[in-house]
Structure 1
């Protein structure tokens, strides 16, 4: 099993094959006349001892005990295969009743999903954190139900900072560069880790865009990948960090997120962008670390990146009432806290968030939680996003290489994004 290294990502185009017409219904009746529901979920564990399968087995027992006559069949797959598994099931006309995966937009656009207000109770729908609920909308109708969430912050190694004479976390990009120069002079192998390799290039890209005052889209949802702010951000990254040897010996275009996470946990990285699960890994590596808000071009960035994984309910089985009952149970405060607490993730509901903020057992997550309301998300409501994400993975790393041209590369990605958007209409 493999812990998911990044929430909210999906295999590019995985859902495309799922748009074939339905053939047969997947929902069925179990022996004895019981109604049987099928749920397919992703595994957030990194070993058998903390596999999500254990959570869902207990969840099924608890749900069936409260809902006589309903049987819940749960299949759990690794993040490397779960999106494709669901896409294949839907394409074969055997959609699960519920899927907990990385993206919902293609299924929603094809008319295969129930909307939130067709199933779940008003209190459950109203309990979703507003920024997350909005990120689950297609044409202002919510189809994606956020399951877990995460935000990104700056992680830094306190011991390496002290060794280099850096007295506080940088807030602006100039301070980032100044700290990185000191770290390099002190012998730190990777002053600032920049993973623009294919594993998570869209996330690292978005973080630098947000820090520069840009982003993937504007307020109307139109792609702004080649905006002036984004071009300037990558020109700065190319010239002031990568070009000055402040990102370590490896090419950022070939460096994956887990590469820099592993190096951070070995004490080789001064600072990097990270999500909450890095805390577990860093503690296991006995790294004395601290977290801080995302630095921006002139000071602290006005927003950070938020990420969500999604639940969605398929119409094919026709079990709308039972699915509403199931989803109300999934998003009860105790169940939300039970799951996120196991994996250092953030809750998606106001009730669970308030409970977490008042419980010192979750104190390490409070800074990430405080960022959630100002977080910006991938344009996951766009059916074009899977293709755009794949293009970013393929091309973005070249902008920070010697001779790289941010304007040309971002312009090319912009044109491909607009073409993909038009093709999906």
Structure 2
């Protein structure tokens, strides 16, 4: 836990109307860990340094930050809220159910207009529930196809010409397999990455999780066709890792950094891991059914502020500090993530050391994000993690598997409307 602050002059007036406070106030925050404590780069260090700087500027406010593993943070925050002890601020993966329950401050209750306007429009829109923004984007990423250039050359493939469509992807994977590559294509549909990997594939096949009206389309014909194609052409031909439905993302990433995977879908952090392991890799736009995919997956993580403690002014002041350009840039720079503000995004684009990130940045404005604004998304995401990998099991019927998930999603929506 990081702690900062002491009694002092109190909170200065903020852009959203915060007044002076005569007493010291403590904010409790729960955040997710983007680093690896075993390697000494836990996110705790970032928050420790940030709250020390904040307390120097605003000595009347104490900020206690508890950093939790990503696997635990959403669940533990939900438990805290259920027990009536919500943190003042939480940084996590979803927010809509809290917003629908009237538990959150909106963005315009927390932040000044200039800070709100600095958010990238696509991300600000993704943070809305019923046209009101409650989720403040904290960090983002997109996905590209990664491939091992050395293994391509070993298979007699041109490393400058990665596959641009699914047909070429299969032909490339078959060449890699013939050259002795252990995993021609890494396919993680285990619990860790299932919603993301599945969405990348169905987008490439012209499908998605929802339609333009926001209704669930998990068992749409385009999605069923995509998984049937994957079963027949990738898994059925032995061109992937064994048991894709129970393989987690990190396992495939680790295998890629050891030079055992020819191709896989990856996010910016994989670049640093691959480079540190000496892997000569390339990146490309995700292949689609008939050509390069029209869009890719965009993922954003969120900061929210709970009403329970009544500390709107103090929470708003701290969040404005978090999103100051230098503070936000320090975080995304450290963990190879994409900025969520225009100011930090432009700074990263101009930085020579981040040249490899520009392709990810280029993808962000048109990326498809999870339907995080749907109150049912948190439970539907858990169902996808548990079940969607079953579509690739031997003898499975993709239409039946996706149909079950679809019905559960619709039932969750109905239950939400009935509250």
Length-normalised TM-score, structure 1: 0.90
Residue 413 (structure 1) aligns with? 405
Give the whole-Å Cα distance in 2 for the aligned partners of 1:78 and 1:229.
35
SS in structure 1 of the partner of residue 409 of structure 2: helix
The alpha-carbon deviation at position 354 of structure 1 amounts to: 0.8
Map of 2:249 onto structure 1:
257
Q: CA deviation at 1:82?
A: 2.0
Per the TM alignment, residue 384 of structure 1 is displaced from its structure 2 partner at its CA by: 1.3
Partner of 1:210: 203
| Partner in structure 2 of residue 25 of structure 1 | none
Displacement after TM superposition at 1:89 (Å): 2.2
1:374 aligns with 2:375: no
Instruction: Give the one of 8, 23, 47 matched to 1:33.
Output: 23
Name the counterpart of 1:305: 297
Which residue does the alignment assign to 1:222? 215
Q: Structure 1 residues 335 and 303 mapped into 2: Cα distance closer, same or farther (>3 Å)?
A: same
Deviation at 1:279, TM superposition (A): 1.3
Gapped regions of structure 2 (runs ≥ 5): 1-20
Deviation of 1:297 after TM superposition, in Å, equals: 0.3
Q: What is the DSSP-based 3-state SS (H/G/I as helix, E as strand, rest coil) of the residue aligned with 1:297? A: coil
Structure 1 unaligned residues grouped into runs of 5+:
1-29
**Alignment partner of 1:94: what SS?**
coil
Deviation string, structure 1 residues 330-356 (Cα, Å, up to 9, x no partner): 111111110011111111011110111
Q: Is 1:44 matched with 2:34?
A: yes
| 1:343-422 pair list within 5 angstroms | 343-422=335-414
Q: Distance in 1 between matches of 2:381 and 2:239?
A: 27
Does residue 162 of structure 2 align to residue 169 of structure 1?
yes
Provide the alpha-carbon RMSD of the alignment: 1.4
**1:185 equivalent in alignment to 2:185:** no
Task: Indicate if the aligned counterparts of 1:303 and 1:376 stay in contact, CA closer than 8 A.
Answer: yes
Indicate which of 94, 102, 109 corresponds to 1:103: 94
Q: Secondary structure at the match of 2:368?
A: coil
Three-state SS of the structure 1 residue aligned to 2:402 is: helix
Query: Which string of whole-angstrom CA distances, capped at 9 and with x for unpartnered residues, describes residues 197-231 of structure 1?
Result: 12211111101011111110111111111111111
Give the match's secondary structure for 1:312.
strand
Tell me the residue number matched to 1:148: 139
Match of 2:263 among 271, 280, 294: 271
Residue 345 of structure 1: SS of its match in structure 2?
coil
Q: d(CA) in 1 for partners of 2:260 and 2:348?
A: 32
Q: Structure 2 matches for 1:84-99, cutoff 5 A?
A: 84-99=75-90
Deviation at 1:81, TM superposition (A): 2.3
Whether the 8 Å CA contact 1:206–1:216 is kept in 2: the answer is: yes
Match of 2:324 in 1: 332
Confirm or deny: 8 A CA contact 1:89 1:95 kept in the other structure.
yes
Question: Distance between the aligned counterparts of 1:354 and 1:256, measured in 2?
Answer: 33
Structure 1: how far apart are the matches of 2:381 and 2:110?
Answer: 31
Quick check: 1:40–1:99 contact (8 Å CA) kept in 2?
yes
User: SS where residue 34 of structure 2 aligns?
Assistant: coil
* C-alpha distance in 1 between matches for 2:191 and 2:61: 42
The whole-number CA distance in structure 2 between the counterparts of 1:413 and 1:398 is 11
Equivalent in the alignment of 1:232: 225
Among candidates 244, 247, 251, match of residue 240 of structure 2 = 247
Distance 1:423 1:311 in 2: 26
Secondary structure of the 2:309 match is: coil
Give the secondary structure class of the aligned counterpart of 2:70: coil
Matched, 1:133 2:124: yes
Q: 1:281 aligns with which of 273, 276, 287?
A: 273
Runs of 4 or more above 6 Å deviation: none
Of 410-419 and 299-308, deviating more is: 410-419
CA deviation after TM superposition for structure 1 residue 91, in Å = 2.1
Q: How many residues align?
A: 394
**1:284 positional shift:** 2.1
Matches of 1:246 and 1:201 in 2, distance apart? 19
SS in 2 for 1:33: coil
The question of 1:160 aligning with 2:124 is answered: no
> Are 1:341 and 2:333 matched, yes or no?
yes
Helix, strand or coil for the counterpart of 1:197?
coil
SS in 2 for 1:371: helix
